[in-house]
A and B are shown apart, each in its own frame.
Chain A
Amino acid sequence: MKKFAQLLELLALTPSRNRKIEALTQYFATTPDPDRGYALAILTGALSFKNVKPAVLRDVVTREVDPVLFGMSYDYVGDLGETIALIWPHHGAQDDLPSLTDLIELFNTTSKSELPALIASLLTRAAINERWALVKLATGALRIGLSARLAKTALANMSGKDLQQLEEIWHGITLPYTELFDWLEDKGERPDIDHASRFHPMMLSNPIDEEKDLAVLAPADFAAEWKWDGIRVQLILGKGKVSLFSRTGDDIAGAFPDLVDNVFGEAVLDGELLVGRDFEPDLFNALQQRLNRKVATPKLQEEFPAFVRVYDMLFDGGQDIRPLAWSERRAHLEDWFARNPQRRLDLSEVLTFADWPSLADLRRKGAAEHGHEGVMLKLRTSPYVPGRPKGLWFKWKRDPNVVDAILMYAQRGHGKRSSFYSDYTFGVWKGNEIVPIGKAYFGFTDEELRQLDKWVRNNTVAAFGPVREVRKELVFEVAFDSAQASTRHKSGVALRFPRINRIRWDKPAAEAATLDDMQIFLEAT
């Protein structure tokens, strides 16, 4: 447990991603089974104890600490787990806590009524850092800014195995992952899982280079589809069970009951999650209302019904069709749709075009009239290959919108950039006033960042904590994907995916855009 507590602390406090991976790699390589398997489960959020609830912990503490003092402390610290770790008043001999495995066994087997006494005795035995880790472990709320992806990357790093291969079996393995570690350390076969019912890493596309790629690619070799403005999902229709995975392999089915309860058949499908009525996709804004929620209220389901626009098929029934060419998979998909009528799924249309210029036209029109993000190009002979293989799928995004905006505030960045003013808020004219329209922290080179940092320091007019207000004199050409009306911003405009396209050292602020200029970018709602 001591070792795990040290790992958690390091992960919480190290800003560098590489150092986190190093620490994880080191931990997994030097910790025996099954401890490391349980650690992996905790780090990836795959473990929870049904009896250990925050309320139980709070009870345990307020038996020992005056509730008023506890309340004041919690207000100050702001994190229940940390408050408990810091406030616990009894300090025992600090002998070693049980191993991770034994601890988990204890939490799982101790009855509800005996749990408070167990937790109290563990808290007393633990040293301060272990106490912090113990509470985090017990409540399952780590809050240390670690993604499951990072833990998996460390495993791949440790073993030299391919991250994709690991991702593929990830959802089919069980605690404490001994077979996984055996495979990673070449002591066993790759775990065998039921492929049709597990998440499969997705095939991703590369951005097209209009000058180089289009000159050599033959239009007839490619199928084109709209690039939809939703989120990529993998829908797994099994016998009696439906899963909906995001691109990172998180199962988000729980948030979309209206969708998963109304799909039929047996298959693994690849498509875009959208919201809207009668398969008419709403703006991304609307979809956002339903993302990052554990549950969907009936009102949300009614207001923003979810559907999936399907564009590929990985398994037809139990048959793995990933090795087949795109055109054959498409035939399977269309045939499958004919056999399985759907209310919440529809087919992504395949666009007809003669040559690249006519597709470019189509792409422009789609963006202007329907807000499509661009078009996708898929080599008709391409098998379904996880990852981002070269030359098979391309995304051809619509041209970004650009606007000349004025730098208003700068804020220091994080990690490596913590001594640089690297986060910029910019605005446009509204009469004689400048109103902020967005914030961006990338799009410039390291050298430009140094210049900007210097400019900010030399042109500061006021400082508020980490934020500096600067002279309204520097113009950025800001690129963005789309603009939407927003009541949350003073300017009434919110930009999607803004980035600094160019720094216009030469341009006077008076020639920057006005709020009126922004109106043409606003999408109809």
Chain B
Amino acid sequence: MKPFLDRDLRIAPIDVYVDPPQPRARAIITHGHADHARAGHGAVLATPDTIAIMKTRYGEDAAGRWEELPFGEKRDIDGVTVSLHPAGHILGSAQVLLEHRGQRIVVTGDYKRLPDRTAQPFELLACDLLVTEATFGLPVFQHPKPTDEIGRLLRSVAAFPERAHVIGCYALGKAQRVISLLRQAGYNAPIYLHGAMIRLCELYVERGIPLGDLRHSLDVPKAELAGQIVIAPPSAIKDRWSRRLPDPVLAVASGWMSVKQRARQSGVELPLVISDHADWNELRQTIGETGAGTVWVTHGREDALIYWSQQQGLAAEPLNIEAYEDGPEDEQ
């Protein structure tokens, strides 16, 4: 059966795109990260959380029209049934399920299956064609338990009471996840935020994700940050901003941090392997469990996942949707 989705993720019968990199008349957006959600589309269909995130980041008028579609609700668009289902990646992140003439297509967007209190839990969807992400699509990526990683962080905080711990995190999703994991581990002290983190943390709290006592790092004299945890974007922790911190331990929370040589080269003293993406084992598990006969791989290291899928007897090919920026500094 010929898929009704084009390789640039255009839903052919209705001329609607999923996560288009260029402005389009109609777009379905899986989640609020910049490499999936761009400003300037005519109409945006997404979950209420994702729309709230896009409005916060890009402004109320970043799309001509906003169409909220809550998780699990079906919407018929000229004969194609569209529904959004939790992807477990960040708040509001969705997989897109498309049904048309008996064919089921799932676009995962970015996803993970590990529990996360800041994102609605991943839902497995059976389909004929699976468009999967592959950010960590290599067998070297086997993410450890995030609770263990937070444990390492807390041990380091206890071991260096005279130093601040600054954690480089992407401002949307990762920052709130790390804060939430810390709270879950019983860390109830104030957590200090770089200015770039504040707006989105507030949004999460407004939308019902408790994050505890958060403070602006600017409001505090340097000495008082000793023994404290500060959250900042990765770009800030190695720049001038970090000079306001007392002898900081540089930590970065990202799936890329599993490669020690890489952490070392980028000067990260405490790499925390905390990822919001499926690791190699989850990617394979999901491909198998969806029952899809065809797999399109995008966003990341496609080669290995395609090779593996073909070994399993699946039809698999890469999508080259545009060079997305990703790398150790900004896992999105």
Q: How far is the CA of A352 from the CA of B239 in the complex (A)?
A: 56
Extra 17 A-B pairs, beta carbons < 8 Å, given A73-B139, A77-B140: A13-B263, A13-B268, A14-B269, A65-B139, A66-B307, A69-B138, A69-B304, A70-B139, A72-B304, A73-B140, A78-B261, A86-B141, A86-B259, A128-B144, A144-B264, A145-B264, A419-B238
Give the chain B neighbours of A83 by CB distance below 8 A.
140
Nearest B residue to A145, CB-CB: B264
Question: Could you tell me which residues of chain A, from 1 to 58, have a CB within 8 Å of some CB in chain B?
Answer: 9, 12-15
Which residues of chain B are within 8 angstroms of A14 by Cβ–Cβ distance? 269
A-B contact pairs, 18 of them (CB 8 A): A12-B260, A12-B264, A13-B264, A14-B269, A15-B269, A65-B139, A72-B303, A72-B307, A73-B140, A73-B304, A76-B140, A76-B301, A77-B261, A78-B261, A87-B142, A414-B267, A419-B239, A457-B240
Bound: A172/B319 CA distance, A? 62
Q: Provide the residues of chain B in CB contact with A86, threshold 8 Å.
A: 140-142, 258-259
Contact flags B84-112 to A (C-beta < 8 A → 1, else 0): 00000000000000000000000000000
By a CB distance below 8 angstroms, the chain A residues around B261 are 77-79, 82, 143
Shortest C-beta distance, B326 to chain A (Å), equals 13
Contact with A along B224-250 (1 / 0, CB 8 A): 000000000000001110110000000
A-B contact count (CB 8 A): 70
Taking the complex as formed, is A68 at the interface, i.e. its CB lies under 8 A from any CB of chain B? yes
Complex Cα spacing A89 to B140, Å: 9
Set of chain B residues within 8 Å of A78, measured between Cβ atoms: 261
In the complex, which residue of chain B has the Cβ closest to the Cβ of A91? B142
Does A132 belong to the interface (CB within 8 Å)? Answer: yes
Residues of chain A in range 126-164 having any CB-CB distance to chain B below 8 Å = 128, 132, 143-145
Most buried by A among B242, B269, B311: B269
B270 at interface by CB-CB < 8 Å:
yes
A73 to B303, CA, bound (A): 10
Q: How far is the CA of A149 from the CA of B309 in the complex (A)?
A: 50
Q: Can you name the residue of chain A whose Cβ is closest to the Cβ of B144?
A: A128
- By beta carbon, the residue of chain B nearest A76 is B138
A37 to chain B, nearest CB (A): 26
Name A71's closest neighbour in chain B (CB-CB): B304
Is B238 a contact of A418 with CB atoms below 8 Å?
yes
Structural contact, B259 and A77, CB atoms closer than 8 A: yes
Residues of A within 8 A of B146 (CB): none
B271 at the interface (CB under 8 A from A): yes
Say if the beta carbon of B308 comes within 8 Å of chain A: yes
- Top 10 nearest A-B pairs (CB, nearest first) are A86-B140, A73-B140, A87-B140, A72-B304, A87-B139, A79-B261, A73-B138, A69-B139, A13-B269, A418-B238
Among B139, B238, B303, the most chain A Cβ lie within 10 Å of the Cβ of B139
Contact status A412-B238, CB under 8 Å: yes
Chain A: CB-nearest residue to B267: A418
Contacts of B268 in A (CB 8 A): 13
CB distance B240 to A419 under 8 Å?
yes
Give CA–CA (A82, B261) in the complex, Å.
Answer: 8
Q: Does A415 contact B (CB under 8 A)?
A: yes
In the complex, chain B residues 300-318 whose Cβ is within 8 Å of any chain A Cβ:
301, 303-304, 307-308, 311
CB-CB under 8 A from A82, the residues of chain B are 259-261
Output the least CB separation between B265 and chain A (Å).
10
Interface string of B126-148 (1 = CB under 8 A from A): 00000000000011111010000
- In angstroms, Cα B308 to Cα A249, docked, is 51
Give complex CA distance A14, B260 in Å: 12
Taking CB atoms, residues of chain B closer than 8 Å to A9 are: 260
Among residues of A, the one whose C-beta sits closest to the C-beta of B311 is: A66
Tell me the minimal C-beta distance from B229 to chain A in angstroms. Answer: 18
A13 surroundings in chain B (CB, below 8 A): 260, 263-264, 268-271
A245-299 contacts to B, CB under 8 A, are none
Q: Chain A's nearest CB lies how many Å from the CB of B218?
A: 17
Chain A, Cβ-Cβ closest to B238: A418
A209-B150 Cα distance, complex, nearest whole Å: 55
Note all chain A residues with C-beta closer than 8 A to B238: 412, 418-419
Is A69's CB under 8 angstroms from B308's CB? yes
Residues of A near B271 (CB, < 8 A) are 13
Residues of A within 8 A of B240 (CB): 419, 457
